[in-house]
Amino acid sequence: MAIEIRNVEKTFGAFTALGGVSLDVRSGELLALLGPSGSGKTTLLRIIAGLDHADAGEVSFDGQDTRDRAARDRKVGFVFQHYALFRHMTVFDNVAFGLRVKKKAERPAEMDIRRRVDQLLTMVQLSHLASRYPSQLSGGQRQRVALARALAIEPKVLLLDEPFGALDAKVRKDLRKWLRHLHDDMHITSIFVTHDQEEALELADRVVVMNHGQIIQVGTPAEVYDHPADSFVFDFLGGVNRLNGVIEAGVARLDGKAVRVDGAVGADGPAVIYVRPHQVELGVAPADGVPDGKWSARVSSLHAAGPVARLELDLAGRALEAQLSRDRLSDLALEVGSWCTVDFRHARVFPAKS
């Protein structure tokens, strides 16, 4: 099912949770709403589910306005951050809940309910725990019960609020992979909210980056990572060097030397140059000074475990992180305290915020 969101606004008292948000969710895609807390991502998810109501704007499912459809009639699957499992019911009864509360005319026979729940529990690999209570399960198991319960009503869209937020790192990674496979099998339109950029980039078909109740950028993980719309997205996706420079006559400069940058340069004035660690090019320092157009830096620390080496460099008093292959590192023969030249393969520049 496709979802169209048009100019949705929502305020809580004096706080603007959503300031006119528009978004098209394509049928069958797995979409991530990514942003810091207070960016409005959870509010948007709850408005789609019908748990909150927009002050203005509209949300439509396959072209049909949802304004008059209460949450219980929307047929959405919602997985809550803390699972919200019914603690006095067994795993089986939790999953069966959505089927048992249907109106008599639509309710499947008890035998069909059993078969369906068994099927779902097999799918989430929890058949052996059907008669347990939620308090007897681990976090990852609860999460899967919550998912099975949401899927029981055969929803047209699956909404997940910070689905992995309360889990430890290992379980998180496994569950992430598992959810991706599940989505590939079922192709149900899914939207999940997260503040973890790694999770969004790894799991989603498309990522929506939000901040202060606005959508900043929408794109595939590669688009968002390689072409961040602004300095916020760059900062939020993380793993980036920020170097203070200037823009003079349309040229970005760091310590007086020109920096080749992608995209627009912006107005003259103080600026921040963004470079990802793997875009930092290192070279052997020549004996007779630094070649023109390059910078020189000293290695302050070096981590060479795994296939990639990470270097902390001191570039005229600024900390700079660089990543390069182990082979390249041994070619350069760098160690802590040695000097090298620095260049940037790709960099972006944004005016510094005053």
Partner 1 sequence: MRLALIGLAILFLAAFLALPLVAVFSQALAKGVGAFLKGLADPDALSAIRLTLTIAAIAVPLNLVFGVAASWAIAKFNFRGKSLLLALIDLPFSVSPVISGLVYVLLFGLHGSFGPWLRDHGVQIIFAVPGVVMATVFVTFPFVARELIPLMQEQGVEDEEAAIVLGASGWQTFRLVTLPNIRWGLLYGVLLCNARAMGEFGAVSVVSGHIRGKTNTMPLHVEILYNEYNFVAAFAVASLLALLALVTLAAKAALEWRFADQIAAAKR
Q: What are the two backbone dihedrals, phi and then psi, of residue 202, each rounded to the nearest 5 degrees?
A: -80, -35
Query: How far apart are alpha carbons 268 and 137 in whole angstroms?
Result: 59
* Contact criterion met (CB below 8 Å) for 282 and 338: no
Between 146 and 285, CB nearer to partner 1: 146
Give the angle 112-113-119 at the CA atoms, nearest 5°.
90
Query: How far apart are alpha carbons 287 and 272 in whole angstroms?
Result: 31
- Please tell me whether residue 135 binds partner 1 under the rule CB under 8 A: yes
Between 41 and 276, CB nearer to partner 1: 41
274 secondary structure, DSSP code: E
Q: Which of 9, 16, 116, 133 binds partner 1 (CB under 8 A)?
A: 133
# of chain residues touching partner 1 (CB under 8 A): 29
Closest approach of partner 1 to the CB of residue 237, in Å: 30
- Please tell me whether residue 78 binds partner 1 under the rule CB under 8 A: yes
Closest approach of partner 1 to the CB of residue 210, in Å: 22
- The residues, any chain, with a CB within 8 Å of residue 245's CB and separated by 6 or more, are 252, 253, 254, 255, 259, 270, 271, 272, 273, 349
Closest approach of partner 1 to the CB of residue 93, in Å: 10
- Please tell me whether residue 76 binds partner 1 under the rule CB under 8 A: yes
Give the contact letters, 22-51, x = binds to partner 1 (CB under 8 A), - = no: ---------------------------xxx
Q: Which region among 123-131, 150-158, 292-300, 320-328 touches partner 1 (by CB under 8 A)?
A: 150-158
163 secondary structure, DSSP code: T
Q: Which of 1, 2, 71, 229 binds partner 1 (CB under 8 A)?
A: 71
- The residues, any chain, with a CB within 8 Å of residue 238's CB and separated by 6 or more, are 197
Q: Summarize as ranges the residues that interact with partner 1 (CB under 8 A).
A: 49-51, 70-78, 80, 82, 84-88, 97-98, 101-102, 133, 135, 149-150, 152-153
